[in-house]
Amino acid sequence: MDLDALTHTSGEWLRATGPDSDIVMSSRIRLARNLADYPFPNRASDAVRADIEQLLRGEIAKSPAGKKLQYVQIDALETLDRQFLVERQLISRELSENHGQRGVGISPEENVSLMVNEEDHLRMQVLRSGFALEECWRDIDAIDDAIESSVTYAFSEQFGYLTACPTNVGTGIRVSVLLHLPGLVMTKEIQKVFQALQKIGLAVRGLYGEGSQAMGDFYQISNQATLGKGEEQIIKTIKDVIPNILAYERKVRTTLVQENRQNLHDQVSRALGNLKHARQISSEETMHLLSSVRMGINLGLIHDLEIPTLNELFIHTQPAHLQKLRHERMETAERNAARADYIRQRLTVPPSTN
- Site of interaction with other proteins (CB under 8 A): 34, 36, 38-40, 42-43, 119, 141, 144-145, 148-149, 152-167, 169-171, 173, 201, 224-231, 234
Q: Least distance to other proteins from the beta carbon of 214, Å?
A: 24
Q: Least distance to other proteins from the beta carbon of 170, Å?
A: 5
Q: Least distance to other proteins from the beta carbon of 48, Å?
A: 10
* Of 172 and 216, CB closest to other proteins: 172
Tell me the CA distances in angstroms from 230 to 130, 175, 194, 235, 309, one per residue in order.
23, 12, 24, 9, 37
Cβ(310)–Cβ(16) below 8 Å = no
* Of 144 and 217, CB closest to other proteins: 144
Q: Least distance to other proteins from the beta carbon of 188, Å?
A: 31
Could you tell me where the DSSP H helices lie in the chain? 3-6, 46-62, 79-87, 93-97, 133-148, 182-186, 190-199, 231-277, 283-298, 307-316, 319-326, 332-348
CB atoms within 10 A of CB 2: 7
* Of 6 and 235, CB closest to other proteins: 235
CB atoms within 10 A of CB 292: 24
Q: Least distance to other proteins from the beta carbon of 165, Å?
A: 5
DSSP 8-state assignment for residue 300: T
Q: Least distance to other proteins from the beta carbon of 14, Å?
A: 29
* Of 32 and 256, CB closest to other proteins: 32
* Closest listed residue to residue 218, CA positions, set 327, 303, 294: 294
Inter-axis angle of helices 231-277 and 332-348, to 10 degrees?
90
Q: Least distance to other proteins from the beta carbon of 335, Å?
A: 34
* Of 3 and 225, CB closest to other proteins: 225
What is the total residue count of the chain? Answer: 354
* Of 19 and 228, CB closest to other proteins: 228
CA 260 to chain centre: 33
Q: Least distance to other proteins from the beta carbon of 225, Å?
A: 4
Q: How far apart are CA 160 and CA 156, in angstroms?
A: 5
Question: Coil, helix or strand for 170?
Answer: strand
CB atoms within 10 A of CB 114: 30
Q: CB within 8 A of 202, min separation 6: which ones? A: 221, 222, 223, 224, 237, 238, 241
* Of 232 and 306, CB closest to other proteins: 232
* Of 173 and 320, CB closest to other proteins: 173
Q: Least distance to other proteins from the beta carbon of 150, Å?
A: 9
Question: Coil, helix or strand for 98?
Answer: coil
Tell me the CA distances in angstroms from 311 to 88, 136, 198, 275, 302, one per residue in order.
11, 20, 27, 14, 15
* Of 164 and 245, CB closest to other proteins: 164
First to last CA, the chain: 19
Question: Coil, helix or strand for 280?
Answer: coil
